[in-house]
Chain A
Amino acid sequence: MTFEASERVAGVPPSGIRRFFEIAEEYDDIISLGVGEPDFAPPWAARDAAIASLERGQTSYTANRGMAELRERIASFADRRYGLRYDPDEEILVTSGASEAVDLAFRAFLDPGDTVAVAQPCYISYAPGVQFAGADVLDVPTRAADEFKLTREALESSGAADADVLVMCYPNNPTGATMTREELKPVAEFAREHDLLVFSDEIYSELSYEHDHASIATLPGMRERTVVFNGFSKAYAMTGLRLGYALAPPEAIETMNRIHQYTMLSAPTTAQHAAVEALESCDDEVREMRDQYDRRRNFVLSRFEEMGIDCFPAAGAFYAFPECPWDDSDEFAEALIEDQRVAVVPGNVFGAGGEGHLRVSYATSLGDLKEAMDRIESFIG
C-alpha cells in the first residue's frame, strides 16, 4: 500500500488560487487586492462573548446541530432579514464554516454519476466538492453581458435540464453580481420544471448594496427543494472562527446531520457563543462595515471607468470583476505583481466564463486601494 491519491482526489487539480498565493508570498511589499475575507475585526460584543465563554470554560461539544439558542437566533435573523422561515429544531444545522455545510450537502445528496450544474464563475470550492462526492460538474457559464446573473438561457444552453442539482451563489464571489427577486424567478421556474435541487450559497447576503438580498428559497415551490448556506465569515468578519449554517427542510437537515455527527460532531463552541451575540446585538457594526465596503466599491468602479477598463457595476460581496486589459488574465496578474507589487486574482481560476477578467477585492483600506489603483493605472499606461 502506498500513499497514492484516491481517484476522486487525484481527479481534482490543485487550486488555481494556490499558485498565485505562492507568487504573492515571494514579495513582502505587496498591496493585495486578492483577499477574499473582510479586513475588519469582528464586532467587540461578539469577541467579548467568545472570551467570556472561554473564561467560564464553556468548551465542551454542543448538540450536533448547534446550540439551541444559536439556532433560534439564526431562525429569527433569517426570517427578519430575508423572510426565510425555518424551524430551529429541525431545519437548521450549524456547521464549521459555510464550507462544511456545502460539503455536507454534496456528500449527503449526490451519488456517483449524478450531475451538478454549477453557475460560474464561482467560489473555487464547489467543483472539487462535487468531485470529492463522486459526482460530475456541469459548467453553466454566466456572462458579463448579463452582469454575471444566472439566466434561463444559460441554464438551457448548457444542458442543466438534465442535471440533478444546481449550485448558485449570489451575491457572488468572484464577480460581485447580485440577483433580484424578479431575476431569480426564471431560475426557480427552471429548477421546478426540471426537478433540480438547488444549493444556494448566500454567505454574502448582508453585502448587497443596490437592493435587498433575495433568497431563491422564498420563491414559490422552492423551499422544499433548496438548501441555503450562510455563515458568519463575511458579514461579521469572523472567518477564522469557522462558523456557518445550512437551512433546509427537516429530511435534508437530518441527512446532512448524519454525516456531520460523525465527522465534525459539532461546530466550534467558542464561535457559537460569539455568533449568538453577533446576531443579538451587532446590526450596527454590520451596517457600518457594509457602508465602508459600499464606498470602496464606488471608488474602485469609478477608477476602472476612468481608466477605460470595462467593469459591470458589481452590486454585492466585496469584489469587482473588471475585464482584463490583456487577453490572458494569468499573464496580466503575474506581470502586475512583479512590476507593481499589486496582487489580483485572474478570473479563470473561478471557472467557465471567468477568463478575460480579474477579481479585485476591495476588502482593503481605502488608502491601499487608492495606491493600488494608481499602480494599475500606470501599469496599463
Chain B
Amino acid sequence: MSDREEILALLRENARYSTEDLARQTGLDAEAVEAVVEDLESEGVIKGYQAVVNWEKVEPERVRAAVELNVTLDRETGYDDIAERLAKFPEVQGLRLVSGDYDFAMEVEGDSMSQVSRFISEKVAPVPEITQTVTHYIMESYKERGVEFGDGHDDDRLSISP
C-alpha cells in the first residue's frame, strides 16, 4: 500500500486519529503525514470528516428515509440538472444516480415522519421531471459507512492466554 492509500484507509477507519497516531501507525514522521493529508484534501479526495452517528441513541431521534425517485428527461433537462436542484435541499443527505428499477436513490433526514413526508410531497414530488417517489423509512440501522452498530465490546477472550 502506498502512504496515501494507507493514510486514507486509516482516516476512513477513524477520522479523529491525530497526526501523531497516524505517524506512529505508518512509521512516517508527522510532517510527512500532514503533507499527505493536505494533498488529499486539496485534491478533493477527502471531501470532509463526519461522525458516524447511531441516531437511535440520540434524543430526539432523527427520522431518516431512503427515497426512490423515477424521472423522465426532456431535451433540455438531464440527470445532473435534476440532481443539482434536489441536492440543494438541506433535508437531502445523500443523492445518487443508480442503475436498475429507479433513477435516483435519495437519503432524507428530518425531525419527524410528518416533516419528511411533507418535504417529499411539497418539495420533491412537484419537481416536474419526477414521475414517481417511493419512500422507505429507516427503522433500524445495523451498519453505517462500514461501522457496525452492535455494542462492540463483546470481546470474550480470556484476558490472559498463551
Residues of A within 8 A of B27 (CB): 298, 302
Residues of B within 8 A of A291 (CB): 1
Chain B, Cβ-Cβ closest to A365: B155
Q: Tell me, in angstroms, the Cα distance from A131 to B21 when the chains sit together.
A: 46
Residues of B within 8 A of A20 (CB): 160
Chain B residues with CB under 8 Å of chain A are: 1, 6, 10, 14, 21, 23-27, 155, 157-162
Residues of A within 8 A of B155 (CB): 39
Residues of B within 8 A of A125 (CB): 162
Q: Which residues of A in the span 343-378 have a Cβ within 8 Å of any Cβ on B? A: 343, 345, 366, 370
Q: B160, A298: Cβ atoms under 8 Å?
A: no
Interface string of A326-337 (1 = CB under 8 A from B): 000000000000
Q: B24, A35: Cβ atoms under 8 Å?
A: no
Partner of B21, one of A15, A21, A343, A370: A370
Q: Which residues of A in the span 1-49 have a Cβ within 8 Å of any Cβ on B? A: 15, 17, 20-21, 24-25, 30, 32, 34-37, 39
Residues of A within 8 A of B26 (CB): 295, 298
Shortest distance from the beta carbon of A343 to any chain B beta carbon, whole Å: 5
Residues of B within 8 A of A15 (CB): 162
Q: B162, A24: Cβ atoms under 8 Å?
A: no
Chain B, Cβ-Cβ closest to A333: B160
Q: A343, B160: Cβ atoms under 8 Å?
A: yes
Q: How many residues of A contact B (CB 8 A)?
A: 28
Residues of B within 8 A of A30 (CB): 159
Partner of A36, one of B1, B6, B162: B162
Query: Is A303 at the interface (CB under 8 A from chain B)?
Result: yes
Chain A, Cβ-Cβ closest to B10: A295
Shortest distance from the beta carbon of B158 to any chain A beta carbon, whole Å: 6
Query: Is A190 at the interface (CB under 8 A from chain B)?
Result: no
Shortest distance from the beta carbon of A358 to any chain B beta carbon, whole Å: 13
10 CB < 8 A contacts A-B: A17-B162, A24-B159, A25-B159, A30-B159, A34-B161, A35-B158, A35-B159, A302-B24, A302-B27, A366-B25
Q: A299, B160: Cβ atoms under 8 Å?
A: no
Chain A residues with CB under 8 Å of chain B are: 15, 17, 20-21, 24-25, 30, 32, 34-37, 39, 123-125, 173, 291, 295-296, 298-299, 302-303, 343, 345, 366, 370
Partner of B162, one of A123, A298, A303, A370: A123
Residues of B within 8 A of A35 (CB): 157-161
Chain A, Cβ-Cβ closest to B27: A298
Q: A299, B24: Cβ atoms under 8 Å?
A: yes
Most interface-central of A17, A295, A296, A343 (chain B CB within 10 A): A295
Q: B161, A299: Cβ atoms under 8 Å?
A: no
Chain A, Cβ-Cβ closest to B162: A36
Shortest distance from the beta carbon of B28 to any chain A beta carbon, whole Å: 10
Q: A17, B161: Cβ atoms under 8 Å?
A: yes
Shortest distance from the beta carbon of B26 to any chain A beta carbon, whole Å: 7
Q: Tell me, in angstroms, the Cα distance from A303 to B25 when the chains sit together.
A: 10
Shortest distance from the beta carbon of B21 to any chain A beta carbon, whole Å: 7
Q: A298, B158: Cβ atoms under 8 Å?
A: no
Q: B24, A124: Cβ atoms under 8 Å?
A: no
Q: Tell me, in angstroms, the Cα distance from A173 to B6 when the chains sit together.
A: 27
Partner of A299, one of B6, B21, B157, B158: B21
Residues of A within 8 A of B21 (CB): 299, 370
Q: B1, A21: Cβ atoms under 8 Å?
A: no
Q: Tell me, in angstroms, the Cα distance from A355 to B27 when the chains sit together.
A: 29
